[in-house]
Structure 1
Amino acid sequence: MENAYRKSATSYGITLGVILSLLTVIGYAVYLDLFTAWWFGILNILLIIVFGILSAKKTKQLIEGYTTFKQAFTGYFITIALGTFISTVVSLLIFNVIDTDAAQILNEKIIENSEAMMQKFGAPQSEIDKAIVAMEEDNQFSMMNYIKGWFGFLVFYAVVGLIVALIFREKDPTKV
């Protein structure tokens, strides 16, 4: 019973990782501007959360008896951690090993979009210039930034997972 939901969560995590990786590869191969589209980021976030919820639901189905908060959260978190890790490794390989020029092109597009957005919101030119210099100096595609980003998103998804686990847990009515 204990291993069944962990195996299920691992399976969901691998599936999530493959889907996210496919989205990354398709975006890289077909339309690099996809990575700068706000809706693409939202789509990825929603996809990750949905897979976590599905995993927590499957955990609840696999547990005979009552699902604890810990079990529901573990099912969710294994899926999220594994899926996003696989996707992060694929992105790291594409932009740091396979095609570093794509990372430079994408970085320039991100800077252009950021500048346009700051101008649209009426930011002073001096602040825009500072932000652009900072973005140019920081390699957004470095291994350290990928690691920091992965852990940062993991914290965000863990908070969501706490809410999901609260929803899917069941209290044993025989225990007070």
Structure 2
Amino acid sequence: MKDIFKKTSFKYGALGFMIFIVAYFTMWKIDLGLFLNPLVTYPILIFIFILGIYSQKQAKKELGGHLTFSSALLYFVVTIAIAFLGYVSAGILIFHIIDPDAKKELVELTIQASIEMSNKMLGWMGMKEVAGQISEDQIRDSMKLSPTPFGTASLVIGYISNLAFYTVAGLISSLIIKKDRLYEFE
């Protein structure tokens, strides 16, 4: 089982790691606004989830069709943990080592997106008279209370929270995928 564990979890985890690296460097080169676009970031996250499930299914297949709940969860979590290290590595490489100015530009893009979104939301709620009153300074003041987007603290918090969320999803998929061996009486 140890060989299958190493082979399966690390292979799919490394694939997820590389997906994050390639996707983040591509988004950085094309347009920083892509980091804020859910139509770009969510498919990456969904694909990583699918990799975790596929890791479970592959392990079950290699173990002869039987996989305990705890083993299924372990395959999933290790795959996801390795994959999300790509998220952290890419963030540190891009925003701290290669191009620290990109982080400042991304903060500005985040502020603009926040203003636009709050104005839209207030307009939808029938508060159009209040919609134009939110300023960049107010957004900057509120951002001082939280870690800087793609800062080290933000990346670590993102890694931990993603791992926690995906672990809950992994619990559900482990319940579905598991198949214990039947107990044999002597």
With the length of structure 2 as denominator, give the TM-score of the two structures: 0.86
Report if aligned partners of 1:118, 1:128 keep a CA contact under 8 Å in 2. Answer: no
Provide, for residues 47-93 of structure 1, a one-character-per-residue CA deviation record: whole Å limited to 9, x for no partner: 11111111111111111352100111111111100011122112111
Are 1:29 and 2:29 counterparts? yes
1:117 maps to 117
Are 1:139 and 2:148 counterparts? yes
Report if aligned partners of 1:13, 1:78 keep a CA contact under 8 Å in 2. Answer: yes
Closer, same or farther in 2 for the Cα pair 1:14/1:45, shift >3 Å? same
1:148 maps to 157
Report if aligned partners of 2:20, 2:90 keep a CA contact under 8 Å in 1. Answer: no
After superposition, where does 1:88-99 map in structure 2 within 5 Å?
88-99=88-99
Are 1:171 and 2:186 counterparts? no
Secondary structure (helix, strand or coil) at the match of 2:66 reads coil
Are 1:100 and 2:96 counterparts? no
In structure 1, runs of 5+ residues without a counterpart are none
Q: What amino acid is aligned across from residue 108 of structure 1 in structure 2?
A: E
How far residue 45 of structure 1 moved from its aligned partner, in angstroms, is: 1.5
Count of residues in correspondence between the two structures: 176
How far residue 175 of structure 1 moved from its aligned partner, in angstroms, is: 6.4
Closer, same or farther in 2 for the Cα pair 1:110/1:3, shift >3 Å? same
1:87 maps to 87
Provide, for residues 110-143 of structure 1, a one-character-per-residue CA deviation record: whole Å limited to 9, x for no partner: 1111111011110754698644422256422221
Secondary structure (helix, strand or coil) at the match of 1:139 reads coil
How far residue 164 of structure 1 moved from its aligned partner, in angstroms, is: 0.9
With the length of structure 1 as denominator, give the TM-score of the two structures: 0.90
Matched residues in 2 for 1:142 and 1:30: separation? 21
Q: What amino acid is aligned across from residue 68 of structure 1 in structure 2?
A: T
Bigger radius of gyration among the two: 2
Q: What amino acid is aligned across from residue 80 of structure 1 in structure 2?
A: I
Secondary structure (helix, strand or coil) at the match of 2:64 reads coil
